[in-house]
């Protein structure tokens, strides 16, 4: 791969050429690749933590770790999966695909793009180093509620705070880049309503990121000053309120949930039409639905706080606002199914992941509606039902869409077809084991098992054992994914430019693998 | 290729991003080490990082200026910069929203609830029976832990002068912009010079106000939620004025070097946008922190 980079340059030492290409890169494809590999590394790191958690929960009683270590693990698992695995994966896909989908020579700000990526390894080095610090890693859950993170947080909390700041800068700069690219760099003739749906999804996601990452930065800044400079934002003794932290956190946190799922909707909306050999049903409705979900996401945050003692009127408002989100989401599910209706379907691996996404994400969405209802949430809150719910929207939701996208675009990136047999094995094992892992959690939660507890009552044992077996099955199946990626990069059946019979769009007019620089002069879009 | 309107400049390689990451990493890790009383190591690492960051301000922006002067940027690049700056400022607005949110929450909800209003009745009776809600909050629920301030800064002293200073600076900046559009170089220089001077005077007044608050009024970060919101909001605003002043000074230097003309001066406009944003934030501060 590095041969290409050295072609047009004087001969350089291989190490210096490697450094220039990957560390000093301004190429959106290379930076996209970096994002995707980084995300994969974080996915595996967070996954190992998940397996440690499941091992601890295999049986009641303390198994392999101290309660505080267990708290470290759930905190780190959440933070790494959200900020390290899912978000960078979508930014990676956006980096790779947006310029070649809209016919731009690169992202709008290539150097800024590089900085957005190269902040992440530093941020996560800080984050992971807290595991080895005196007093242990952060242990308050990924939501870092005050006063757990202020009065009672371990010293490493301050390092966690600066890591969050760095991730925030990375996300904001990355999002500014996406917005400028989509709004300004489209090829002549590509109007906004001809924009590929994935670009729309990323544009709206970028808007959400720019709006809420600064609020998260504000929250951790107040945490820092509460910890060290004597302020009392989250301390009632000085007139503040710990609940204020929850409001600020969830004002960030709920849009954050959509930051992780709107790009997934975009990927799925690209894949289903291709393998149905039909145009996406209701394109403009899809755009409108994505925008509506994004707007609604700003007025639903307190549904995470129904049991925190907020006023009744607020509970009712936030309950109805939340239930309203079911409407645009329902539009989306309806449109995906209608796209497939009477299509000429084929079931390659990306399509299998996409269909599983539609079904399993909908299950997660429906349990979300149950949680949205404030009277019943009093029972579900902080139980395993919640854990089951959000893992259904994040694993067979966000993660499946990333896997689907990687299988879909891998031939375009590498120029080789992946092994369909291995891909299908990966799909079926993942899908089966995901359900084995997360479905029992709903029953556990309804029966009253609390979340974030390393030990549990005897009657919960059977379902926990099942979930642990499923988790290991899912974890091990991902080794197949590694094998697929490795083999496809190394070789395989050459891919055509179009790759998939039903694929439409600018990116499929480029040869596979795509040249290092594409669309230096913009193509003209006519139809 | 260059010169055609469809050409978009993509720099080949750049070492600035990775240096910036290292710089930011060192700055932040150093700062936390200082906080953890690991001062010597912390200070060295922090200064190293801060110097790196300062070096980058010259290096990275310097190369952008050089590319712009070299005619590498077309109209499309200009629009990219406009979108980029606009959304960057929007992210800054949201950052201030977090602190304004904290202020409004404290005034509308948490302080009255602690004082026994609404569903805070039992909280008040059991936890803080002597506490009375008020704003400004001179006596905190636990006044031994968080000493309330003796006085707070009134709106019609220094803050009103500061408001005048910033509003005037917005006018002088616009005056400079008009001059730039009409290629009146002397007026641009004079207008920018006035704006920067007003910014510096503002910062001086703000510094003096802080000294008064600390030594005369007993108003500090630690004096409860009033002090917390007061200093965080005005402090972050002051930091932004400082950045804005540095930006405008840079523009002054660039004008003196003859960098801009009437059609090509987005660097100037970007700084002006930023300055107006800082101005608007101040108006909100003046109303909600000082006046009511």
Q: Distances in Å between the alpha carbon of B94 and those of A172, A253, B88, B89? A: 11, 14, 10, 9
Nearest to B101 among A121, A221, A248 (CB): A248
Interface test with B, best of A232, A256, A525 (most B CBs within 10 A): A232
Asked if residue B110 has pLDDT above 50, the reply is: yes
Residue of A nearest to B133 (CA): A239
Interface contact A247-B142, CB threshold 8 A: no
Q: Which of residues 201-260 of A touch B (CB under 8 A)?
A: 210-215, 217-219, 221-222, 225, 228-233, 235-241, 243-244, 247-248, 251
Interface ipTM: 0.95
The distance in angstroms from the start CA to the end CA of chain A is 35
Q: Does A309 touch chain B (CB under 8 A)?
A: yes
Closest CA to A93 of A416, A394, A407: A407
Contact B148, B140 (CB under 8 A): yes
Q: Domains of chain B: which residue ranges?
A: 12-62, 79-104+153-291
Asked if residue A233 has pLDDT above 50, the reply is: yes
Is B182 in a helix, a strand, or coil? coil
Nearest to B10 among A110, A122, A213 (CB): A110
pLDDT of residue B2: 39
Number of helical (H) and strand (E) elements in chain A, helices listed first:
18, 0
Interface contact A240-B21, CB threshold 8 A: no
Q: Does B222 touch chain A (CB under 8 A)?
A: yes
Asked if residue B99 has pLDDT above 70, the reply is: yes
Give residue B139's Cα distance to chain centre.
30
> Is the link from the previous residue into A410 a cis peptide, with omega within 30 of 0?
no
State how far residue B14 is from chain A, nearest Cα, in angstroms.
5
Interface contact A238-B31, CB threshold 8 A: no
Q: Which of residues 311-330 of A touch B (CB under 8 A)?
A: 311
Asked if residue B255 has pLDDT above 50, the reply is: yes
For residue A383, the cross-strand partners are A450
Cα(A218)–Cα(A221) distance, integer angstroms: 5
Asked if residue A527 has pLDDT above 70, the reply is: no
Q: What are the residues whose beta carbons fall under 8 Å from the beta carbon of A56, sequence distance 6 or more?
A: A62, A63, A64, A65, A70, A73, A454
State how far residue B111 is from chain A, nearest Cα, in angstroms.
6
Using a pLDDT cut of 70, give the percent of chain B over it: 98
Nearest to A26 among B14, B94, B231 (CB): B14
Interface contact A232-B225, CB threshold 8 A: yes
- Burial bucket for residue A10 (CB in 10 Å: 0-12, 13-18, 19+): exposed
Is B263 in a helix, a strand, or coil? coil
Mean pLDDT confidence for B238-261: 96
Q: What is the mean pLDDT of chain B?
A: 94
Interface contact B114-A158, CB threshold 8 A: no
Nearest to A231 among B25, B84, B228 (CB): B228
Q: Does A522 touch chain B (CB under 8 A)?
A: yes
Interface test with B, best of A238, A248, A518 (most B CBs within 10 A): A238
Interface contact B113-A239, CB threshold 8 A: no
Interface contact B29-A185, CB threshold 8 A: no
Pair of tokens at residue B267: 């660097």
Residues of chain B contacting A214 with CB distance shorter than 8 Å: 91-92, 94-95, 97-98
Q: Does A524 touch chain B (CB under 8 A)?
A: no
Q: Does B162 touch chain A (CB under 8 A)?
A: no
- Burial bucket for residue B40 (CB in 10 Å: 0-12, 13-18, 19+): exposed
Q: Distances in Å between the alpha carbon of A326 and those of A306, A361, A390, A463, B21? A: 19, 13, 16, 30, 41
> Is the link from the previous residue into B252 a cis peptide, with omega within 30 of 0?
no
Cα(B246)–Cα(B242) distance, integer angstroms: 6
pLDDT of residue A139: 95
pLDDT of residue A1: 40
State how far residue A123 is from chain B, nearest Cα, in angstroms.
8
Is B132 in a helix, a strand, or coil? coil
Q: Does B224 touch chain A (CB under 8 A)?
A: yes
Contact A370, A326 (CB under 8 A): no
Q: Which of A42-51, A95-104, B2-11, B190-199 has the lowest mean pLDDT?
A: B2-11
Asked if residue A9 has pLDDT above 70, the reply is: no
Using a pLDDT cut of 90, give the percent of chain B over it: 90
Cα(A378)–Cα(A386) distance, integer angstroms: 12
Q: Tell me how long chain B is.
A: 292
pLDDT of residue B60: 95
The angle, 0 to 180 degrees and rounded to 10, between the axes of the packed helices A242-276 and B75-105 is: 140
Residues of chain A contacting B235 with CB distance shorter than 8 Å: none
Nearest to A237 among B11, B12, B145 (CB): B145
- Phi and psi torsions of A105, nearest 5°: -70, -25
Largest CA distance in chain A: 71
Nearest to A240 among B20, B87, B106 (CB): B106
Q: Does A521 touch chain B (CB under 8 A)?
A: yes
For residue A416, the cross-strand partners are A494
Confidence bin at B6 (pLDDT 50/70/90) = low
Q: Does A307 touch chain B (CB under 8 A)?
A: no
DSSP A79-148: HIIIIIIIHHHHHHHHHHHHHHHHT-SS-S-HHHHHHHHHHHHHHHHHHHHGGGSTT-S--STTTT-TTT
DSSP A24-76: SB--HHHHHHHHHHHHHHHHHHHHHHHHHHHHHTSSSS--SS-HHHHHHHHHH
State the residue for tokens 């590095």: A2
Interface contact B87-A213, CB threshold 8 A: no
Q: Which of residues 94-153 of A touch B (CB under 8 A)?
A: 104-106, 108-112, 114-115, 118-119, 121-122, 126
| Range A495-499, long-range pairs (CB < 8 A, 24+ positions) | A495/A411, A495/A412, A495/A414, A495/A415, A495/A416, A495/A417, A499/A411, A499/A412, A499/A417
Nearest to B114 among A185, A230, A239 (CB): A239
Q: Does B12 touch chain A (CB under 8 A)?
A: yes
Confidence bin at A8 (pLDDT 50/70/90) = low
What dihedral angle (degrees, nearest 10) is formed by the CA atoms of A55, A58, A64, A65? Answer: 90
Q: Does B60 touch chain A (CB under 8 A)?
A: yes
Convert the pLDDT of each residue in A488-515 to its tens digit. Answer: 999 999 999 999 999 999 999 999 999 9
List active site positions of A: 77, 106, 142, 170-171, 254, 256, 258, 269, 303-304, 329, 332, 451
Count the Cβ atoms, other than its own, within 10 Å of residue B57.
12
Q: For residue A495, how many C-alpha atoms fall within 13 Å in the half-sphere facing its CB?
A: 28
Residues of chain B contacting A522 with CB distance shorter than 8 Å: 6
Pair of tokens at residue B11: 């720099």
pLDDT of residue B12: 84
Residue of B nearest to A238 (CA): B224
The answer for A66, left when phi > 0, alpha when psi is -120 to 50, beta otherwise, is: beta
Nearest to B91 among A108, A172, A237 (CB): A172
Interface contact B20-A26, CB threshold 8 A: no
CATH number of this structure's domain B79-104+153-291, picked from the four choices 3.40.50.300, 3.30.540.10, 1.20.120.80, 3.40.50.150:
1.20.120.80
Asked if residue A209 has pLDDT above 80, the reply is: yes
Is A193 in a helix, a strand, or coil? helix
Cα(A269)–Cα(A201) distance, integer angstroms: 10
Residues of chain A contacting B127 with CB distance shorter than 8 Å: 236
Cα(A63)–Cα(B61) distance, integer angstroms: 55
Asked if residue B4 has pLDDT above 60, the reply is: no
Interface contact A184-B83, CB threshold 8 A: yes
Closest CA to A496 of A506, A516, A485, A510: A510
Mean pLDDT confidence for B127-139: 94
Interface size A-B, in CB pairs within 8 Å, comes to 213
Count the Cβ atoms, other than its own, within 10 Å of residue A505.
17
């Amino acid at each position: 791969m590095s041969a290409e980079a050295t072609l047009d340059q004087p001969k350089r030492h291989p190490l210096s050429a490697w450094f220039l290409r990957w560390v000093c890169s301004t190429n959106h494809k290379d930076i996209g690749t970096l994002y995707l590999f980084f995300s994969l590394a974080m996915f595996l790191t967070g996954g190992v933590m998940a397996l440690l958690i499941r091992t601890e929960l295999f049986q009641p009683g303390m198994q392999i770790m101290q309660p505080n270590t267990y708290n470290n693990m759930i905190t780190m698992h959440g933070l790494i999966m959200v900020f390290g695995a899912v978000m960078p994966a979508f930014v990676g896909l956006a980096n790779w695909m947006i310029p070649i989908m809209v016919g731009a020579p690169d992202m709008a700000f290539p150097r800024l793009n590089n900085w957005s990526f190269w902040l992440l390894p530093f941020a996560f080095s800080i984050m992971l180093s807290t595991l080895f610090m005196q007093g242990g890693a952060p242990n308050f859950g990924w939501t870092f509620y005050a006063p757990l993170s202020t009065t009672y947080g371990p010293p490493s909390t301050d390092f966690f705070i600066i890591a969050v700041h760095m991730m925030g800068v990375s996300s904001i700069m990355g999002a500014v880049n996406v917005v400028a690219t989509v709004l300004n760099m489209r090829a002549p003739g590509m109007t906004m309503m001809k924009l590929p749906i994935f670009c729309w999804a990323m544009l709206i996601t970028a808007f959400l990121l720019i709006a809420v990452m600064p609020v998260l930065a504000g929250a951790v800044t107040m945490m820092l000053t509460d910890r060290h400079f004597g302020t009392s934002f989250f301390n009632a003794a000085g007139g503040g309120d710990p609940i204020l932290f929850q409001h600020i956190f969830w004002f960030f946190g709920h849009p954050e949930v959509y930051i992780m799922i709107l790009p997934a909707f975009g990927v799925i909306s690209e894949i289903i039409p291709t393998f149905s050999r039909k145009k996406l049903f209701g394109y403009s409705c899809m755009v409108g639905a994505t925008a509506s979900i994004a707007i609604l996401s700003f007025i639903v945050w307190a549904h995470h706080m129904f049991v925190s003692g907020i006023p009744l009127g607020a509970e009712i408002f936030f309950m109805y606002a939340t239930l309203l989100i079911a409407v645009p989401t329902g539009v989306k599910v309806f449109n995906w199914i209608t796209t497939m209706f009477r299509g000429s379907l084929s079931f390659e691996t990306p399509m299998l992941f996409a269909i599983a996404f539609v079904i399993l994400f909908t299950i997660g969405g429906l349990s979300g509606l149950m949680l949205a209802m404030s009277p019943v949430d009093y029972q579900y809150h902080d139980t395993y039902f919640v854990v089951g719910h959000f893992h259904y929207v994040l694993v067979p939701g966000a993660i499946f869409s990333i896997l689907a996208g990687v299988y879909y675009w891998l031939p375009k990136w590498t120029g080789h077809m992946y092994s369909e047999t291995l891909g299908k094995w990966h799909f079926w094992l993942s899908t089966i084991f995901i359900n084995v892992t997360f479905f029992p959690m709903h029953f556990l939660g309804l029966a009253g098992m609390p979340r974030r507890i390393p030990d549990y009552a005897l009657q919960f044992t059977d379902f926990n054992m099942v979930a642990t077996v499923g988790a290991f099955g899912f974890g091990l199946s991902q080794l197949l994914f590694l094998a697929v990626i490795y083999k496809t990069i190394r070789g395989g059946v050459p891919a055509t430019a179009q790759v998939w019979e039903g694929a439409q769009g600018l990116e499929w007019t480029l040869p596979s693998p795509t040249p290092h620089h594409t669309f230096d002069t913009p193509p003209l879009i006519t139809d | 290729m260059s010169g055609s309107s469809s050409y978009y400049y993509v720099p080949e390689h750049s070492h600035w991003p990775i240096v910036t990451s290292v710089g930011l990493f060192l700055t932040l890790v150093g700062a936390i080490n200082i906080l953890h009383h690991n001062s010597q190591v912390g200070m060295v690492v922090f200064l190293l990082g801060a110097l790196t960051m300062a070096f980058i301000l010259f290096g990275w922006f310097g190369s952008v200026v050089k590319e712009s002067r070299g005619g590498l940027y077309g109209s499309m690049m200009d629009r990219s910069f406009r979108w980029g700056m606009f959304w960057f400022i929007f992210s800054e607005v949201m950052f201030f929203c977090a602190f304004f949110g904290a202020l409004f929450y404290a005034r509308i909800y948490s302080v009255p609830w602690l004082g026994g209003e609404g569903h805070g009745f039992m909280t008040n009776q059991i936890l803080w029976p002597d506490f009375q809600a008020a704003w400004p909050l001179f006596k905190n629920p636990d006044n031994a832990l968080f000493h309330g301030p003796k006085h707070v800064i009134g709106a019609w002293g220094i803050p009103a002068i500061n408001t005048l200073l910033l509003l005037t600076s917005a006018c002088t900046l616009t005056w400079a912009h008009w001059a730039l559009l009409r290629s009146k170089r002397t007026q641009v220089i004079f207008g920018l010079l006035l704006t920067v001077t007003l910014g510096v005077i503002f910062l001086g007044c703000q510094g003096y106000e802080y000294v008064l608050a600390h030594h005369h009024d007993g108003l500090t970060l630690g004096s409860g939620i009033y002090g917390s919101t007061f200093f965080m909001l005005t402090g972050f605003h002051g930091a932004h004025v400082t950045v804005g002043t540095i930006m405008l000074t840079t523009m002054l230097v660039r004008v003196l070097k003859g960098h801009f003309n009437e059609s090509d001066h987005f660097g100037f406009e970007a700084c002006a946008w930023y300055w107006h944003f800082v101005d608007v934030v101040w108006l909100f501060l003046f109303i909600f922190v000082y006046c009511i």
